[in-house]
A and B are shown apart, each in its own frame.
Chain A
Amino acid sequence: GESVGLHLPTLSVQEGDNSIINCAYSNSASDYFIWYKQESGKGPQFIIDIRSNMDKRQGQRVTVLLNKTVKHLSLQIAATQPGDSAVYFCAENSGNTGGFKTIFGAGTRLFVKA
């Protein structure tokens, strides 16, 4: 889930298990959503995106689900690995042809136990 402030929600999973990270967004007009992974000391790294005309999209080991009715987004990581340990942000894009801005959620810290 989302929270604001210095204390990120955390998720701890065993290596090999599946992880599910949840996110609520606020702007019902947003039509493009992205999940980012951020490792310590690095910039956000794109994982997967989804547009509002879809409710599910799959990538390699990752799946994003979008529920527009309740404005909820989730990221599923299959067979979680130690290298998946990071902070995960959901983000919504809004804007116009002059430029879009990406609005980030507060993030969830994923710990993978070996």
Chain B
Amino acid sequence: EPEVTQTPSHQVTQMGQEVILRCVPISNHLYFYWYRQILGQKVEFLVSFYNNEISEKSEIFDDQFSVERPDGSNFTLKIRSTKLEDSAMYFCASTIAAGVDPYFGPGTRLTVT
């Protein structure tokens, strides 16, 4: 069964550093998403991406965040200058069409010290 993959599984970084979280969505999917989950809390939407542009973003997704699809397979989330409160699990998801349930990856645990 096809799956969304994410690397690394765990990233530790110092406050103020840049991090790039990587995702490989399912190959024939067209819509891509990032979500985050702070420990013990609910999963929160960050951004959706379609046709090489952001289609929607939440208030969490400020100008410290950016996304990119650098090639035909990868989808990345960059945090320019990490803050302690960015520590969370970050989940990538993808769908083949709008309005269907997203397939989630296993997540990257980001720890900012």
Q: Which residues of A contact B (CB under 8 A)?
A: 4-6, 8, 32, 34, 38, 41-46, 49, 89, 91, 93, 95-107
Say whether, besides A44-B91, A49-B101, A93-B99, A99 and B55 are in contact (CB < 8 Å): yes
CB distance from B48 to the nearest CB of A (A): 4
B98 and A43: CB pair below 8 A? no
What CA separation (Å) do A45 and B93 show in the bound complex?
11
Inside 8 A of A42's CB, which chain B residues have their CB?
106-107
| Interface of chain B: mostly helix, strand, loop or mixed | strand
What CA separation (Å) do A103 and B44 show in the bound complex?
7
- In the assembled complex, B31 has its CB within 8 A of some CB on chain A: yes
The one of B42, B95, B101 that contacts A104, using a Cβ cutoff of 8 Å: B42
Say whether, besides A101-B48, A103-B45, A106-B42, A96 and B98 are in contact (CB < 8 Å): yes
Inside 8 A of A6's CB, which chain B residues have their CB?
40-41
